[in-house]
Amino acid sequence: MSSTHLRAGIAAVAALAGLSLAACSGGASGGANTPTAALDATHQQRSAQSASLGTYHINTSSIMVAGLSSGAFMAVQLDYAYSKTFKGSAIFAGGPYFCAEDNEDLALTQCTDDSPTIPLGTIETDFNNAAAFGYDNPTSNLNGQKSYLFSGTQDTTVYQSVVKALNTEDQHYGIATTTNFTTAAGHGWVTPDVSTACGTTASPYLINCGFDAEQTFLTLLYGTLNARNNGTLTGSLLEFNQNPFVAGGVAATYSMDSNGWLYVPAACASGTTCKLLVALHGCAQSYTDVGNAFITKSGLNEWADTNDLIVLYPQAIPTSYNPYGCWDWWGYTGSDYSATEGIQMEAIDGMVQHLI
């Protein structure tokens, strides 16, 4: 997503949704912080598919999460808040947990260009308190995890200093990080399956930087891999109904699509115990915005096909209060957005729990 998309998406929250942002990550969902433009989203969502999300044999110690930009911030939230579930992450242009501090102005400043400087001590204290009061899983679960962090030298949407702050926060909690801060990349998901130049920042935010980033981070998270399938995939790309996983049963109420996607290798469909990766798109990169570009060109399915790895692709949608379909990492769905009780957080974790 471009910096224009990121900033416009965040700024629209206060202007159009009238949110009252609180200072803590815990609290009850809904209420005054519930988006008021739910009906606006109704005509934008696609018709819900009749297919329900299936259940598979999943190794619960191998559930990881990855994302780009707003999807990267959301991936950090999921990994930190649901650390009993998620065991590692891959972050492309994302910042520290609770970086925005439930404040859209800070999301526009310290979490994009690190001005003012991200107050790591403050947000770490907030996270510690949220975990202590049960809003998040225990912080000790993060110790020993692994995370891959990528930030391009030409990324002017989320500055490198923001991602480096995440690196510091990760290490504070005992996460072993592997970083790439030297590639002349723009703002995008790095994959060998597109021809877009590495320094590009443009839709659909998929860029080729001359190496296979998926091989790098999947090897970090899962160990030695079988060769990827460069031919016709043997697994299935399935579309499923997201509505049952959202409070109230209408995903669009909280800027989520009625449908998500799931890639299932043939072996996993046949009962083999498999790994699971949740992959989160960025702003202006959902199915509504770019079709299946991220879902089919991220480079994930080719590795998944030969390595018993199921890939879950949850989907957000644009709404009047979230015009670029960003995941909520600053509070447009409520003050508990970053905690285990956050509407989108609960929905994605609910999908994971259903799959296993």
| Residue with token string 């989203």 | 41
Between CA 311 and CA 347 the distance in angstroms is: 16
User: How far apart (Å, rounded) are the C-alpha atoms in residues 159 and 153?
Assistant: 8
CB atoms within 10 A of CB 122: 11
Element (H, E) at 263: strand 259-264
111: tokens are: 């979490």
- Please indicate whether residue 328 is annotated as part of the active site: no
Catalytic position from the list 136, 187, 257, 349: 187
Q: Is 160 helix (H, G, I), strand (E, B) or coil?
A: helix
8: Cβ contacts below 8 Å, ≥ 6 apart: 323, 324
- In sequence order, which ranges of the chain are alpha helices (DSSP H)? 3-12, 38-42, 70-81, 104-108, 120-132, 160-172, 213-222, 266-269, 287-290, 293-297, 300-306, 343-355
- Give yes or no: 155 in active site: yes
Catalytic-residue membership of 187: yes
Query: One of 102, 155, 257, 308 is an active-site residue; which one?
Result: 155
Catalytic residue among 62, 69, 89, 320: 69
Residues belonging to the active site: 69, 155, 187
